[in-house]
Structure 1
């Protein structure tokens, strides 16, 4: 009889609301000073599709910060931690999913790697369950080196790089190598981030004018990224080489392994609802 009542009490606990966590998702943009990242960076279509993957889709936050600054700057990591901390407290989030793109992955890694830097960091770290990093610039990019040398890339990629901002300086290959060896965790021979850091790698750019897939997320961006790809490894999304994207965490998948029609994801397309990327993330979370 005692066993019987014990099982009943256990069952009541299992199905009690107290046994469930409160899940939330934050969309964290890349380089740039965003004031309306929903419309200008991700698109409402992408955000609304992805957030349906959590039990309470209303528990989402689209981050708007100045990621033209160094990752540790108050306008970057400070702004991100402030918005995440407020989100966690307002919604009682204890199962936080972070969806990042490009340089946003570096700002997130800064927070995860330096828990004592800011009093808000530890609450964010404790609440975070995992990070999904879309085309993260974990190893930097040769294009950032080129921009800071005042080359043609300054005009070709100004729409995404920001013309030699501090964030672009930070993403130079040698600079990121230094940060990865010292301040940031998650790369080879460094401590773990303590949270899963799952990476989606973009491996190519399609810009054929007759191919309808080249128009997803804006044909003009595909043309620009196809051009800059000539200065990168064969495996790249037009902005980042695959080796940079996969330098931290673990690779969840490389675009063609899972995308509709085995289409590649350019750096522009990996933050948009292209080739079922949004549904892949939605189903994954």
Structure 2
């Protein structure tokens, strides 16, 4: 009996030794080839990496998220990169951090496990999805773009042109997807893993306010302008009601950021006000 117990303990120790926690950063709308530098930037990526025991267990996804979420260039690309990462690094605990429309692509995979043979293995590995400012219920700005409104050039990365991803994020379109194709919103079955959002509640752009400069002052000014199309509670791109629509709310910006700062939609993909440390510390749990 003692020998059997010893063997079981040794087996458990070996399994734990080979277990690995990994994190994947999933960008938002846009066709990315170097998201680490162009979308997240080094301070954010390395700040999140600090939360990992094995610093190599971090993936920065690069996909074409100008497509509909189910498109092979979007969800298919994401599924393949996650699969390759899981296999190469022996990941059995995966924490996914998404931003903006990346939350929709991730939620497509979670909601439709039979759509692609790669999805179930990915879902089994995911511990949780931390969705930063997800456009879970769409955004009126997508409606405005499709209707031909012109916005500040500083927001080109955010709004793009009349591509399928922007078209998909129109409010009425997302309402249909939430009712028919996606899980996690009110009245729908729950998602198979924890999906929790970080909600940006406002935009600061006053020239005298130092908070306006984190992530770029021009972007803050642009998001202050686009906030005119949105509710009073918004991050300049996503209404709070949209970013809170799927799963649960992890926290609203001011509840955890340094100095109680708000996170506009650009700042929530940046190392602003300690966000990178909040995300890194979460990897340890």
Q: TM-score range by the shorter chain?
A: over 0.9
- Stretches of structure 2 lacking an aligned partner (at least 5 in a row): none
What's 2:27 paired with?
29
Q: CA deviation at 1:152?
A: 2.9
Q: CA deviation at 1:132?
A: 0.5
What's 1:18 paired with?
15
Q: CA deviation at 1:61?
A: 0.8
Aligned positions of 1:94-243 closer than 5 A: 94-153=92-151, 157-243=155-241
Query: In the TM superposition, what whole-angstrom CA distance separates every residue of 1:106-125 from its partner, at most 9, and x where no partner exists?
Result: 00000000111111111111
Q: CA deviation at 1:17?
A: 2.8
Query: In the TM superposition, what whole-angstrom CA distance separates every residue of 1:51-95 from its partner, at most 9, and x where no partner exists?
Result: 221221211111000000000001100111111111111111111
Separation in structure 2 between the aligned mates of residue 143 and residue 283 of structure 1, nearest angstrom:
33
Is the 8 Å Cα contact of residues 143 and 153 (structure 1) preserved in structure 2?
Answer: no
- Stretches of structure 1 lacking an aligned partner (at least 5 in a row): none
SS at structure 1 position matched to 2:32: coil
Q: CA deviation at 1:181?
A: 0.3
In the alignment, does 2:253 pair up with 1:255? Answer: yes
Separation in structure 1 between the aligned mates of residue 121 and residue 157 of structure 2, nearest angstrom:
34
Query: In the TM superposition, what whole-angstrom CA distance separates every residue of 1:203-222 from its partner, at most 9, and x where no partner exists?
Result: 00000111111100000000
Q: CA RMSD in A?
A: 1.5
Separation in structure 1 between the aligned mates of residue 153 and residue 187 of structure 2, nearest angstrom:
37
Separation in structure 1 between the aligned mates of residue 151 and residue 216 of structure 2, nearest angstrom:
19
Is the 8 Å Cα contact of residues 25 and 96 (structure 1) preserved in structure 2?
Answer: yes
What's 1:284 paired with?
282
Is the 8 Å Cα contact of residues 203 and 235 (structure 1) preserved in structure 2?
Answer: yes
Q: CA deviation at 1:278?
A: 0.4
Is the 8 Å Cα contact of residues 141 and 239 (structure 1) preserved in structure 2?
Answer: yes
Q: CA deviation at 1:155?
A: 5.2
Q: CA deviation at 1:179?
A: 0.2
What's 2:45 paired with?
47
Is the 8 Å Cα contact of residues 109 and 185 (structure 1) preserved in structure 2?
Answer: yes
SS at structure 1 position matched to 2:191: coil
TM-score by length of 1: 0.95
TM-score by length of 2: 0.95
Query: In the TM superposition, what whole-angstrom CA distance separates every residue of 1:172-201 from its partner, at most 9, and x where no partner exists?
Result: 000000000000001111111110001100
SS at structure 2 position matched to 1:227: helix
